[in-house]
Amino acid sequence: MIFSIVFYIITAVLFVISLKKDRLKTKAALHKAWKSFENILPQILTVLMLIGIMLTLLSPETISLLLGKDSGWFGVASASIIGSVTLIPGFIAFPLASALLKSGAGYMQIAAFVSTLMMVGVITIPMEVKFFGKKATLIRNSFAFGFSIMIAIIIGLVLE
């Protein structure tokens, strides 16, 4: 929340400076902002609907069931898949991860979940494709997935 406020303040300050320096350029900037927004709106709405349906079907209970301490490789795999297909903001994901750790989930599973959550975005693929095309999106996400599992294994070995 505080970050959003800071973000708004920074944007507002820059906007006012821009307005003072050049009215026409600022108007053009707003026009561009609107155009890029409208351009990506269908993808945004699609992603929002997907999030609602996915998170409903994957309840917190399901998540903790899959990531238990003794879930081993199966747990790491499911953690990576859950992290990849969900889109949970950090301020919800980290307390959730920490709660799961306290209630018996393993470090490796949690690290896999956190890492894929950040780097891999299956749900946002339609948006990413729109900007980077299919191939680059596929490459980035697959390697992010692979490296996330490697990171999880190392974190698990170090902290367990």
Partner 1 sequence: MKHKIKHIINRYRYFFILFIAGLALLVYDFELGANSFRLTGLNMLDMISILPPTFILLGLLDVWVDKALMIKLTGEGSGLKGAVIAFLLGSLAAGPLYAAFPIAAVMLKKQSKFSNVIIFIGAWSTTKVPMLMFETASMGVKFTLLRFFLNLPVIILIAVITEKMLSKREKTEIYGKAEKL
Which residues ranging from 16 to 55 are in contact with partner 1 (CB under 8 A)? 18, 25-26, 28-37, 39-40, 42, 44-53, 55
Q: How far is the CB of 159 from partner 1 (least distance, A)?
A: 7
The mark string for 60-89 relative to partner 1 (x by CB under 8 A, - otherwise) is ---------------------------x-x
Q: Which of 23, 91, 103, 104 binds partner 1 (CB under 8 A)?
A: 91
What is the helix (H) or strand (E) element at residue 146, kind and residue range?
A: helix 125-159
Q: Find out whether 137 and 128 touch, Cβ atoms under 8 Å.
A: yes
Q: Which of residues 110-129 bind partner 1 (CB under 8 A)?
A: 111, 114-115, 118-119, 121, 124, 126-128
Q: Where are the alpha helices (DSSP H) in 22-106?
A: 23-57, 60-66, 72-85, 90-102
Q: How far is the CB of 80 from partner 1 (least distance, A)?
A: 14
Handedness of CA 16, 18, 24, 28 (dihedral sign): negative
Backbone angles phi, psi at 123, to 5 degrees: -65, -35
